Structure 1
Amino acid sequence: MTSDIETRCRALVRDLELGQPEQVRNVTPLTGGVASDIARFDLAGKTICAKFALPKLKVAEDWHAPVHRNAAEYAWLQFAANVNPAGAVALFGRSPEQHGFAMEFIAGADVYLWKDALLRQAPDRDEVTAVGDLLGRLQAASAAPGFETAAFHNRDDFRALRIEPYLTFTATVHPDLAPVLNGLAEMLYAADAVLVHGDVSPKNILLRGSGPVFLDAECATMGDASFDPAFCLNHLVLKAVHLPASRDRLLGSVETFRAAFARHLDAASGAAVEARIARLLPALMLARIDGKSPVEYLSEASRAIVRDMAIDLLQTPETRLAELVGRVRARLDQLQPPSTTTA
């Protein structure tokens, strides 16, 4: 019996004229995301990854998003390939009818997922520097004169996928923080200075010999330079709570990331962007506890710690990441000694 995802993969192959639909073999659904159906399949001697946008995301809360976002994601991958050919993903075409596209299935002995490496506390391979540097390069390229923005006027999609579930919804859970959270939401919605990926998370970053590969750019839009760095750093801070034995390394990597990213900014704009990151980061911390997409690996005790730290940082914000990290470190050392395990 043919599954729905297999039917869609065959339709995609037909639409893109990649081969005959009946040549599609070994269709395997892939996990890891909530916004799309993703599968790998074999076709004429090569393995292909297909991705189809979903109208309703696979989370407990009622969370919908327009399926045309798939076009922006494909355009973002094309842009990234031009900026960073070494980390490019081979693209095989997109079908508007299927709201899906085909790309290479990235695999190999040197390929690993950054999230997996962090959670198993693998030896550092300087991934943070590579990721921060690539993100800075991509943003700088999108801010350069002549950058074509037509594919990325997607602020309403970004609001549906990021601003509302992370900030606006969380403001309803914490009404005392609503002025701060809604203010950040308005800031993000109004911005259009650089191209924002929208999901720069360790679960969406593969590492291979040529460096990091960013995937899952469904939220791609012109927006604020602070969002992607804050979104990525949030995952490092959350894992510092989850993995006390790696705390010093993870919290130290915040400065490493900032320095690698900031080298692509001038001093004045770098300071302003850092201040916005420092304001946004605790909001995202709180959103991964009480928003529509709660982080899955934290214990209830760790969730309470993150919630308390985030609220404190939102009520008394910092403008520099070093000060923010210092407060996080001091709080964790007080509440959760490094010898404690929360796994």
Structure 2
Amino acid sequence: MQLEERCIALVEALNLGCADQVTLVRPLTGGVASDIAEVRVADLRICAKFALGKLRVQEEWLAPAHRNRAEYEWLSYARRIAPRNAPRLYGRSEEMNGFAMEYLAGDQTYLWKDALLTGQPDRGEAAAVARLLGTIHSASARPDFDATSFANRDDFRALRIEPYLLFTATKYPELAARFRQLADALYAANGALVHGDVSPKNIMLRDGQPVILDAECATMGDPCFDVAFCLNHLLLKAVHLPDRRDALLAQFEEFQNSYLQLVDWEDPAAFVTRVAALLPALLLARVDGKSPVEYLDDAGRQTVRRIAIPLVRNPPSRLAGVVAAIKSD
């Protein structure tokens, strides 16, 4: 079934309208894991999303399409915790592994990745994202949190641990044991609700408020993964944009400081140690894993390897050690 047909079928399945009321189905680009489209049905403007079983990357990367359910559940939870920071949801079809949510648009709506890559002034995005993420992590780490919908560690392994850590380990046999240690710890963790893809490409800012999308990897796990994953993108962009390095590293610090104020489920120092150990591995994974970032050239990739490899081998106990390595290169 073609995307337009699936979107119309989803609209009808969710009782959002009839086929003849659908006036637009416009595919949206940028993702590798799902088919996404803007759909207009009568006066309603929605975003329809369907998970793919085979991701659009060079290496073979298979993942269960039912992960679409985890994303919908994560968005539902985020909307309960922080209504201004989540899209309205219109329903999900189990049969189609697809759901509908509001289409985010407007003069005051923009993608954080675009703002970072084009050198837009810092509008406090890093601190705002960190506060939202810390709020969700803290709430989900409480004993009364219902984790029933998020027993997804095997999906997380297929979507994150294997393509990022274990695949990269095959490229660096001398670091393989270290990568496996990190992978095993992430797989075993069960402390809080992890989004799994907290990347600037998945974060819209609407009227100054961050909206985190693309929660296909959502699972109970170690929240240090989300923090390291997001900080990693700020470091990669600092390598890519040396003229803006100091500004990007300042946002790195703002994120760290804002987030740590909300860490109430464990010793913040122990948490930072895990982030600092994982971050260099993720740096290396984004140049030599299954999903390399698209904006780094050969020189940039070599810079990342030069910085990351020693830190994977001997990880710092504090994030300042990672920042120092970026500054000194």
TM-score bracket for the superposition, by shorter chain length: over 0.9
Q: Distance in 2 between matches of 1:165 and 1:266?
A: 31
Moved over 3 A (4+): none
Matches within 5 A, 1:130-279: 130-266=128-264, 269-279=267-277
Count residues in correspondence.
329
Q: Which amino acid aligns with 1:68?
A: H
Which segment is superposed worse, 261-270 or 155-164?
261-270
Q: Is the 8 A contact 1:190 1:223 kept in 2?
A: yes
Q: Which amino acid aligns with 2:282?
A: L
The one-character-per-residue Cα deviations of 1:220-259 (angstroms, maximum 9, x if unpaired) are: 0000021000000000000000101110011122221111
How far is 1:328 from its partner?
1.6
Q: Is the 8 A contact 2:71 2:217 kept in 1?
A: yes
Matches within 5 A, 1:1-343: 4-266=2-264, 269-331=267-329
Q: Which amino acid aligns with 1:130?
A: A
How far is 1:145 from its partner?
2.3
The one-character-per-residue Cα deviations of 1:104-139 (angstroms, maximum 9, x if unpaired) are: 000001000000000000011011110111110010
Q: Distance in 2 between matches of 1:81 and 1:183?
A: 34
Q: Could you say what secondary structure the match of 1:145 adopts?
A: coil
Q: Is the 8 A contact 1:255 1:321 kept in 2?
A: no
The one-character-per-residue Cα deviations of 1:4-60 (angstroms, maximum 9, x if unpaired) are: 110000110111111112221211000111000000111111211000000000001
How far is 1:323 from its partner?
2.1
Q: Distance in 1 between matches of 2:312 and 2:250?
A: 21
Q: Is the 8 A contact 1:251 1:329 kept in 2?
A: no
The one-character-per-residue Cα deviations of 1:92-111 (angstroms, maximum 9, x if unpaired) are: 00000110000000000100
Q: Could you say what secondary structure the match of 1:217 adopts?
A: coil
Stretches of structure 2 that go unaligned for 5 or more consecutive residues are none
How far is 1:146 from its partner?
1.0
Q: Could you say what secondary structure the match of 1:192 adopts?
A: coil
Q: Distance in 2 between matches of 1:321 and 1:210?
A: 27
Distance 1:268 1:54, change over 3 A: closer
Q: Which amino acid aligns with 1:135?
A: L
Q: Is the 8 A contact 1:201 1:232 kept in 2?
A: yes
Task: Give the RMSD, CA atoms, in angstroms.
Answer: 1.1
Which segment is superposed worse, 208-217 or 105-114?
208-217
Q: Is the 8 A contact 2:280 2:322 kept in 1?
A: no
Q: Is the 8 A contact 1:110 1:208 kept in 2?
A: yes
Q: Is the 8 A contact 1:255 1:322 kept in 2?
A: no
Q: Distance in 2 between matches of 1:208 and 1:9?
A: 25
TM-score normalised according to structure 2 size: 0.98
TM-score normalised according to structure 1 size: 0.94
How far is 1:144 from its partner?
1.4
Q: Could you say what secondary structure the match of 1:212 adopts?
A: strand
The one-character-per-residue Cα deviations of 1:290-310 (angstroms, maximum 9, x if unpaired) are: 000011000101100101111
Stretches of structure 1 that go unaligned for 5 or more consecutive residues are 332-343
Q: Is the 8 A contact 2:23 2:42 kept in 1?
A: no
Distance 1:56 1:267, change over 3 A: closer
Q: Could you say what secondary structure the match of 1:112 adopts?
A: strand
Distance 1:198 1:267, change over 3 A: closer
Q: Could you say what secondary structure the match of 1:146 adopts?
A: coil
Q: Is the 8 A contact 1:111 1:209 kept in 2?
A: yes
Q: Could you say what secondary structure the match of 2:267 adopts?
A: helix
Q: Could you say what secondary structure the match of 2:37 adopts?
A: strand
How far is 1:314 from its partner?
0.8
How far is 1:270 from its partner?
0.9
Q: Distance in 2 between matches of 1:60 and 1:179?
A: 25
Q: Could you say what secondary structure the match of 2:158 adopts?
A: helix
